[in-house]
Structure 1
């Protein structure tokens, strides 16, 4: 099969007319719901959207109205699967048709990251309520525009950070913030998740029938592809994804901030890391340490995509990640809150949630019996969708456990850390360690990272690791202080006609 190039793609699509998206305009009228009317939901994106489908079908009060994906093969497969289970549902390749349908009350967004905020804004303008997957934005500026749109158009916009609605996690947060383990020293988010290389040489093909112009939307129309797979591996390309900080890590970043009780951005931030241990087509770090400095205890975040050592970069990769205190599975994803009286360990969104004293003895578990929900839901997923339905009924965004404002702030923390990385320079491990002498928590975590990289045969004696600068943050303006290069990465150049305008 001949490779698709930008020239051949543009030639093939030049005669195709499509309506330009409206990313600013007046609010469309929404259907008025009666107290007992089902909320008709359309699910956009058939990757993570498969979970959304189960949630909608399993919740009394929701009705699955339509599915949407630009890939006809993915869309067709989901419609066929649902039909075999007795569910007849309409399908659309272009989400804009859903926005024009007054019989649809709400949409869930499970697309690649670069579409989250633009699609969410358009849905708000069309009078739809929204459930948007994490991260809620591809950059800080557009995330704020989505918050503004939700408020301006009176829409109920929930973020896909499920732990916010988990009663176990809510109880643990209240206990820690109430002094259950004494004064908090710091909170540490972890994403030790296996990330093997994605291949080298690019050359991936656009799936047959997929509207690639619409898939790219506001992002650059990249042809030929710099990766072998269009789907999923966009996470590791800056134009479309946000690395593991914005993929898995946003969940743990959000919970760490929640435990600390912070309602805004940090005073300063820096990042240390890189894409290390292999050479592939990905751009984003597979190893990273981000340090958010607040007026109180710091928020530290760690990404490790390599296994515990080089010899485990084989079939055992997925079961051989580093295991911090309190973790005993094949990977370590969660939050560790270090306090004067002990440590709280939260694993995988609350599936394990235990407090330990200073001697490492477990003193409290936060698990309790939960009601059974349909269609194999995880309890985090089910609670956050039930909460969304409650707020849709009440029309009060304050009823949301994961309101879009909370999603924006936590997502912005991920963006700030990644921006520090992108404007950083490569240094040796010794140089970086020297720069951290006055920051004992960061120094300790970097020493652990250094040991991890050495076990994976990364030569840290050479300038291999990128040391991002301290970036001072104007928290009200959501901009950096005196750093034009970093500020340029707070937004993007939006590709016509998919341009976002400021929402005021």
Structure 2
């Protein structure tokens, strides 16, 4: 059943915020044929494999701090494609090359902005994975660097190239279902414990750990794996809100038509159900109070119940047809956009299907077309859009990280005035109790309502949150401050 929008304070500097994610200017690059482009991929594991395949015809070099990963990647490419790629361990050496036109960055999140800024300053066009930053401030520096150096920079939010989503957004924003009441993103994705070591993890000699850490704190790790599980450490990742959830956060903001950050953000959640080497929330509810309508995002890494933990992934929650996806509630019905990005479904108030939008897209191809034309305005996911959606993830985590432990009763009382948030929290509480998590003690973290000036993207009401809004960084790997143009 549709619920009324949350109560909201007046939106701050709305007109100025629209300019935050303004359309990118044309690049300084001259038009070139796609076959003439020379691209390098930085980060060859995980998502990097998709980058290598997506840019296979233009690929000339690959870079990774893990020598074993690097050697294996080049060997497999040679076997499959019949060509030998150049190898680099240090991205800085790669960027010194004059024969590289563009780079795609699929390293861990904490190095995205650092490498992206260095790349555009070296005259390269850039495709950078999501989230594009580790914190709000550094993401804005990447946008500023792209504009100042007139480079083409695409964010890896591939849903922006989805035909069905483009059509569904146009339908909703055109009034097809009436006024939007709220947008809800869900990430109900199985995340078992990652384990915990009694002694520090031994980093293999084949990995340049100093380079891997980059601007992040170089610390001992007490988890069994270096790779991938960095997602669950706030020093290097953003939890599933920044891993999977940024896609749904981005889609929800797209439907709302909001171009900047929300003036108020709030979180409830924690890492619950087990103890391991991670510190990011595996269960979380975040709300961004926009003027148009609230944007809510829910993360659940535990199964539907304690019994479901016997078969992780086969027993996950679902809400109104969405497990990993977006629900947009309007006065005249609602839309469900699953994470496949191939289908979007629109229903009227009675639940009857009224529109079925179909068709995906080629995000890598969109980047190649823009670079080939030398025209950043052709991008479907310009870096400014990727930055704002990344910043929403970071803002939610800032609220969480400066919050305090509270009982379920205390949290419920604090949300009693807001029907929409109360409903979301009630479903979270039911989910956790089904997993035998005692939330009647101080298990959950009641986040602080943080206030943001959308025009300047500054945190205006929390001294404690400043340390997470911007990171100083380590010597040799500090993200530079870039003057906006």
Same fold (TM over 0.5): yes
The answer as to 2:434 corresponding to 1:438 is no
**Structure-2 separation of matches of 1:195 and 1:36:** 40
After TM superposition, the runs of 4+ consecutive aligned structure 1 residues lying more than 3 A away are 30-37
**3-state secondary structure, aligned to 1:313:** helix
* Structure 2 alignment gaps of length 5 or more: 1-27
Alignment of 1:93-112 (within 5 A): 93-112=89-108
Which of 466, 474, 483 is 1:495 aligned to? Answer: 474
**Structure-2 separation of matches of 1:260 and 1:114:** 28
Alignment of 1:69-88 (within 5 A): 69-85=64-80, 86-88=82-84
- Name 2:25's counterpart in structure 1: none
- Name 2:7's counterpart in structure 1: none
Q: How far is 1:483 from its partner?
A: 1.2
The answer as to 2:230 corresponding to 1:231 is no
Alignment of 1:44-83 (within 5 A): 44-47=42-45, 48-57=47-56, 62-83=57-78
**Structure-2 separation of matches of 1:394 and 1:286:** 42
**Structure-2 separation of matches of 1:253 and 1:502:** 27
The answer as to 2:215 corresponding to 1:218 is yes
**Structure-2 separation of matches of 1:412 and 1:269:** 11
- Tell me the number of residue pairs that the alignment of Structure 1 and Structure 2 aligns: 453
**Structural RMSD (CA):** 1.4
**3-state secondary structure, aligned to 2:358:** coil
**3-state secondary structure, aligned to 1:366:** strand
Q: How far is 1:208 from its partner?
A: 3.0
**Structure-1 separation of matches of 2:332 and 2:358:** 21
Q: How far is 1:143 from its partner?
A: 0.3
**Structure-2 separation of matches of 1:273 and 1:351:** 31
The answer as to 2:302 corresponding to 1:306 is yes
Q: How far is 1:206 from its partner?
A: 1.1
**Structure-2 separation of matches of 1:211 and 1:200:** 23
CA deviation profile, 1:275-321 (whole Å, cap 9, x unmatched): 0111111000000000100112100000000000011112x111110
Q: How far is 1:36 from its partner?
A: 6.2
- Name 1:119's counterpart in structure 2: 115
Alignment of 1:170-319 (within 5 A): 170-201=166-197, 203-223=200-220, 225-314=221-310, 316-319=311-314
State the structure with bigger RCO (CA 8 A, min sep 6), 1 or 2: 2
CA deviation profile, 1:19-67 (whole Å, cap 9, x unmatched): xxxxxxxxxxx9866446521100011121100011112xxxx511101
* Structure 1 alignment gaps of length 5 or more: 1-29, 369-378
Q: Is the 8 A contact 1:31 1:102 kept in 2?
A: no
**3-state secondary structure, aligned to 1:235:** helix
TM-score normalised to the size of structure 2?
Answer: 0.91
The answer as to 2:354 corresponding to 1:363 is yes
- Relative to structure 1, is the Cα distance of residues 36 and 290 closer, same or farther in structure 2, using a 3 angstrom cutoff? closer
- Relative to structure 1, is the Cα distance of residues 392 and 205 closer, same or farther in structure 2, using a 3 angstrom cutoff? same
Q: How far is 1:463 from its partner?
A: 1.2
- Name 1:457's counterpart in structure 2: 436
**3-state secondary structure, aligned to 1:66:** strand
**Structure-2 separation of matches of 1:406 and 1:36:** 25
